[in-house]
């Protein structure tokens, strides 16, 4: 059983590719840390996972 499934997420803003083919699966009891420098897509990924930002790909719960 998964609590979050992301498959093949891609997001572009204008001509800039923010996320490209991102996939992950989070199961109960697992902890996910997203780390990176400013501007690499961490907030964009979180907004897509929370269904707050349109995306290309699959988001499931």
Over the stretch 11-43, which tens digit does the pLDDT of each residue have?
998 899 999 999 999 999 999 999 999 989 999
Q: Which domain holds residue 36?
A: 4-60
The whole-angstrom separation of Cα 58 and Cα 61 is 10
With beta carbons less than 8 A apart as the criterion, state whether 4 and 49 touch: yes
pLDDT per residue over 7-16, tens digit each?
999 999 889 9
- Please determine, for residue 44, whether its predicted confidence score (pLDDT) is greater than 80: yes
Number of domains in the chain: 1
pLDDT at position 20 is 92
The yes-or-no verdict on residue 55 having pLDDT over 90 is no
């Amino acid at each position: 059983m998964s609590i979050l499934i992301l498959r093949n997420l891609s997001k572009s803003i204008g001509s800039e590719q923010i996320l490209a083919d991102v996939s992950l699966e989070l199961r109960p009891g697992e902890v996910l840390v997203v780390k990176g420098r400013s501007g690499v897509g961490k907030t964009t990924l979180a907004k897509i996972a929370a269904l707050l930002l349109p995306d290309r790909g699959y988001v499931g719960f």
